[in-house]
Structure 1
Amino acid sequence: MLISVNGLNEVLAGNRYPGRGVLWCRTGDGDTLGAYFLTGRSEASRARVLHRTEGGELVVAPSASSEHDHLRHYVAARQSGDWLVYGNGEQVATVADRLDSGLIPALALDGLDYEPDPPIFTPRLTVVADGRRAWFGAARHSGGERTATNRLTLQVGDLAPGEGVLMTTYRSSEHEVATGDAFAEVRIAAADRGGLLDELWSCLPGHLRVAAAVFSPGGLAGADIVQADQP
């Protein structure tokens, strides 16, 4: 049976508050790319920027000088040898260090836990990718009463142009926020890298946008970044 795959716009348009998200996809010109985005409902969540460091990392930091918050401020993307690592929290640095020590991606993603922020218990989402393959890791709270972490590892092989895989921290209706779906296969309309950043940004709820970036394995220092106007 043929399964219909929705476009990126359809998937995100049906999610009133996606939170943070990781995307691995191939644009129409055949370029394989990663992307990361942030949205925020609170003033503190929106008062953040995504910027490149001198060392070539992408860092989520406060837009004004303030005390570090380990749940809101973190390394979002790092190149670790041949591996590009990106995600929604401090686990990105942990996974990159594990890869540097010689672990394979599946083991580098093991043992992570969801964020200690009840009642939502935000999943920790991490992607490890080279130019052809990607491993998605999600550390999630149980849908029931169990406190033990559910850990999902998804390996994504060769993508055809226009194909992508997306994970978001949240799935939200107008009235409630819940843990996001395990993952979604999506169609990408963008013909090239610049079009992908435009497509992703336009799909996010305008009043919740914080930042988004598109990058390639081995090319993190040249990441394309878009920021929302700070309040």
Structure 2
Amino acid sequence: MRSLEETAEYPGRGLAIGRDADGVPFFTYWLTGRSPASQSRELVVHDRELIVRDTSGGPADDLRHYTAATRGDDWVIVGNGTQVSDLTALRPQQPDLQLALRQITYEPDPPIRTPRITATATITGPELTEAVIGSARPYDGAPDLTEHPSLYAARIAPGTALTTTTYSGTTTTITPNGLPRTVAIPGPWTSITETLWTALAPSLRVAIITVPLDQPTFSAAKPHIQHR
């Protein structure tokens, strides 16, 4: 099984949700960027929300500034765009993320067509159950169409996470990804942020956060966060 830090040169945005080697539930979310606008962002932690915020003083842009994670008493949703807020509002009527994702398309940024990546799980003490990670991505060979690959786990075992990234190529050949996979988490959640940050190209790093989910709020969990 591959490890979390085995990633592409330019992964764009990425997320992982799982349990560390000690069984602690967590999610990790990271940002990379090529342009000054993409690099002028920070992660802001609130009790029930994680916000991607502009630091340049420029205008708001829904493709770069959004709510990246929300949580309730026993659930969490993580993703790379405005779909996180949409899915949070929809959750009382449609809690099944695999079905809800079918109403979403990739980002309106041709010719790249960046996938919208999202993950969710139910939190029960140290357990993560009903975990889903998936995306809305351009269909290979017919990019005007959207496909919705997803991965479901009734229960995530210790030392395991579900993960995906928006891209899988390089800065000169950007390849849409959004394909979910399972990875090994060999150590504690406290090591994930630094390990993955080190694995990312220094010129592309923007921000990364790892949030344990064994506390009632994001801020109470004292997440580990890095910014450029």
Contact 2:210 2:225 in 1 (8 A): no
Aligned to 2:133: 136
Instruction: Check if 1:30 corresponds to 2:26.
Output: no
Distance 1:106 1:144 in 2: 23
Deviant stretches of 4+, over 6 Å: none
User: Structure 2 counterpart of 1:39, which letter?
Assistant: T
Distance 1:209 1:215 in 2: 19
Distance 1:85 1:30 in 2: 19
Aligned to 1:48: 41
Aligned to 1:86: 78
Contact 1:139 1:152 in 2 (8 A): yes
Aligned to 1:220: 218
Distance 1:183 1:167 in 2: 5
TM-aligned CA deviation for residue 94 of structure 1: 0.4
Distance 2:60 2:10 in 1: 24
The CA RMSD over aligned residues, in Å, is 1.9
TM-aligned CA deviation for residue 119 of structure 1: 1.1
User: C-alpha offsets along residues 9-48 of structure 1, whole Å, 9 cap, x if unaligned?
Assistant: 3x21xx1100000101221111121111101111110000
Aligned to 2:13: 20
Distance 2:178 2:91 in 1: 27
- Structure 1, unmatched stretches of 5+, are none
Aligned pairs, number? 220
Q: Which one of the candidate residues 110, 117, 123 is aligned to 1:118?
A: 110
User: C-alpha offsets along residues 46-80 of structure 1, whole Å, 9 cap, x if unaligned?
Assistant: 00001023x53110010132210010000000114
Aligned to 1:163: 160
TM-aligned CA deviation for residue 199 of structure 1: 2.0
Distance 1:105 1:81 in 2: 17
Share of identical aligned residues, percent? 34
Q: Which one of the candidate residues 60, 63, 82 is aligned to 1:68?
A: 60
Distance 1:103 1:164 in 2: 21
Identify if the C-alpha distance between structure 1 residues 110 and 81 changes in structure 2 by more than 3 Å, giving closer, same or farther: farther
Q: Which one of the candidate residues 198, 202, 220 is aligned to 1:206?
A: 202
TM-aligned CA deviation for residue 81 of structure 1: 4.6
User: Structure 2 counterpart of 1:186, which letter?
Assistant: V
Contact 1:77 1:85 in 2 (8 A): yes
TM-aligned CA deviation for residue 130 of structure 1: 1.6
Identify if the C-alpha distance between structure 1 residues 95 and 124 changes in structure 2 by more than 3 Å, giving closer, same or farther: same
Aligned to 1:151: 148
TM-score by length of 1: 0.87
Identify if the C-alpha distance between structure 1 residues 82 and 223 changes in structure 2 by more than 3 Å, giving closer, same or farther: same
Distance 1:166 1:16 in 2: 16
The worse-fitting range, judged by mean Cα deviation, of 71-80 and 166-175 is 166-175
The worse-fitting range, judged by mean Cα deviation, of 207-216 and 151-160 is 151-160
Contact 1:80 1:99 in 2 (8 A): no
